[in-house]
Structure 1
């Protein structure tokens, strides 16, 4: 917990592994996962799985475990990158070798509250460089800034490392990460619990999901949700091999919500973003997408066109290519009242 308030902006780590075991990382038992999360300083509060992967709601955000991929997303003052040594050791014991890494985060609301190695992006990159094996030779670190004149400056930090010589084209499927601040105060109140409501976190989470319309973003998804006491919300939605996840810090002054999904098709993204914006009505918003090279053209304009009727105007758009990892787009939006 930051002295000024809770840090909503997440750090996100994605590791890919090569190996022949069809179960792979899903063989990790709960004790092994606890060891990884202990290093990060968070715990599991709820879990769900299907034939494709396992999804965990954490005390600070989410964890997704596929046979050959793991994604950890944590907020607050967690030390996410400290999970890497333990993860690589456990994976090696399973006969898996890391073949790709991606780390992303936005600009912290309370940067001075962050512990090592998250005190700066430079320190994070140095820690990554020292923690990853030498076979990940295609490396790049980059900060994608918004317009310097923006009333709420926000940048996107990306580090990528891979041992692959080419991008694995994702056809029309990609990853999207959305960060929202200055949430509508009335809508944000739905993520506060009643005093002494007697509910478990799971029951409170289900009520929040139903009251806010979050369950309608992808009606075919199975939702695992959790409502924190006295406020805050997290959910993971699983749909086949795809997931979506939402995390909310609703307090006035530093309100924040994030939405992430993997597997959403290009033609669906506009409608998905509209549903998300209507739930939170943010004053500022950023949208980052990781796309195979073939899908970059037109995506920024597609997103801007979807958000404009909702009162969010595009303030900046950046595109950066990463070796053997695709392209990352970063757009920022503010309401017209700004």
Structure 2
């Protein structure tokens, strides 16, 4: 492990609102200058953007921002100050007659925790900051650190805080968040720029998308991609009202990639969860994989969880080492799974399994 490097693990914030007016655009009416001011507080900027009839997707200098009529999703990596966006977003929504109904903050365990600024050095401190930023109407609250009992790798802990004005979830989609470390070195080469390639960040990003196979994860999605210099990659996928996003830090010693998407348990042509995950993880061939699946308005499906485990084992040789399930009032059920390759797993007695 490198002594220091870029922090790939993202902090993720989701804010859901309700509205009393009939304007179908909702939060999408927030002007770019206002968004830019919020991002400046967070310490990141927009580097690329795309929109369709359902939502706006922004690739950031540190990860991504999605703006729906009644929902904002923002995830940022590095040492960004993500939680500074909560109050400004609530204020901007209020000017458009939208009221906050639910909040969810989640992240993995940082590779370089000592490099993080306050309050990100302690999940307890983060929770305090989030709670102080929220209105009292979000009275159903819960914080949890989901840590496998057999955990010998801190990257497999999952931190979740939720707050909701209602007991029952109102989000029908299933959100899947994948964190991958120790990427295959050959696969990671796709995310390094070639010296003197003469390409700008957009064209270099398109080349990375094609060479890595990211374009095959969801063939229906329009991909907005961006290549960083000298290495690193981000993309947002737009497919109807469904989003997906990938972020890659390919440097050896602290390599990391994330994949996130919104799906349905009973999808209509957008792909089975286990198949989508298999295609995404196969791009990177990591040694450690964590999958956090949030079931919102849909009931938790044990069969879907088992199907994911069977598919990753069959297609990628990944074995599920732990599975944790936790319920959050007003925010659904979170399933957290950790995987490693069978060939690299040693039993406590030291033998291969």
Query: Considering the TM-score relative to the shorter chain, is it more than 0.5?
Result: yes
Contact 1:288 1:331 (C-alpha < 8 Å) held by counterparts: yes
Find the counterpart in structure 2 of residue 322 from structure 1. Answer: 328
> Do the aligned partners of 1:242 and 1:261 also contact (CA within 8 Å) in 2?
yes
C-alpha distance in structure 1 between counterparts of 2:99 and 2:155, whole Å: 38
Matches within 5 A, 1:68-87: 68-87=70-89
Q: Distance in 1 between matches of 2:153 and 2:58?
A: 36
**Which residue number in structure 1 is paired with residue 349 of structure 2?**
none
2:303 equivalent in structure 1? 298
**1:166 corresponding residue in structure 2:** 168
Measured in 1, the distance between the counterparts of 2:266 and 2:335 equals: 14
1:149 to partner: Cα distance: 4.3
Distance 1:149 1:9 in 2: 18
CA distance in 1, matches of 2:252, 2:260: 23
Residue equivalent to 1:32: 34
Q: Does 1:312 align with 2:318?
A: yes
Q: How far apart are the structure 2 equivalents of 1:328 and 1:295?
A: 8
> Which residue pairs with 2:24 in the alignment?
22
CA deviation profile, 1:45-72 (whole Å, cap 9, x unmatched): 0000001000000000000000100000
Q: Residue 235 and residue 153 in structure 1: after superposition, are their counterparts in 2 closer, same or farther (change >3 A)?
A: closer
Deviation at 1:274, TM superposition (A): 1.3
Give the equivalent residue in structure 2 for 1:5.
5
- Cα deviations by residue, 1:53-99 (Å, 9 ceiling, x for unpaired): 00000000000000100000100000100111111111111111111
Question: How far 1:169 moved relative to its partner?
Answer: 6.5
Aligned residue for 1:134, secondary structure, equals coil
Return the match for 1:102 from 101, 104, 113.
104
Whether the 8 Å CA contact 2:263–2:273 is kept in 1: the answer is: no
Per the TM alignment, residue 300 of structure 1 is displaced from its structure 2 partner at its CA by 2.2
Residues 204-230 of structure 1: CA deviation (Å, up to 9, x unaligned): 100000111101111111110000000
Q: CA deviation at 1:286?
A: 0.3
Residues 206-259 of structure 1: CA distance to partner in whole angstroms, max 9, x if unpaired? 000011110111111111000000000000000010001000000000000000
Aligned-partner Cα distance in 2 for 1:298–1:265: 10
Q: Is the 8 A contact 1:184 1:281 kept in 2?
A: yes
**Which structure 2 residues correspond to residues 158-307 of structure 1 after superposition, within 5 A?**
158-168=160-170, 170=172, 173-265=173-265, 268-292=272-296, 294-307=299-312
Q: For 1:176 and 1:40, locate their aligned partners in 2 and report how far apart those are by CA, in whole Å.
A: 24
Going from structure 1 to structure 2, the CA distance change for 1:162 and 1:58 (only over 3 Å counts) comes to same
Contact 1:35-1:86 within 8 A present in 2 as well: no
Q: Any conservation in 1 of the 2:109–2:154 contact (CA below 8 Å)?
A: no
Q: C-alpha distance in 1, partners of 2:153/2:67? A: 38
TM-score, L = length of structure 2: 0.92
For the 8 Å contact 2:110–2:155, the answer to whether it is kept is no
Match of 2:93 in 1: 91
Q: Report deviation, 1:264.
A: 4.5
Deviation at 1:188, TM superposition (A): 0.1
SS for the counterpart of 1:254 is coil
> What is the distance in 2 between the residues matched to 1:183 and 1:147?
24
Q: Give the match for residue 350 of structure 2.
A: none
Give the secondary-structure state (helix, strand or coil) at the position aligned to 1:104. Answer: strand
Unaligned regions of 5+ residues in structure 1, if any?
Answer: none
User: Is residue 81–residue 117 contact of structure 1 (8 Å, CA) maintained in 2?
Assistant: no
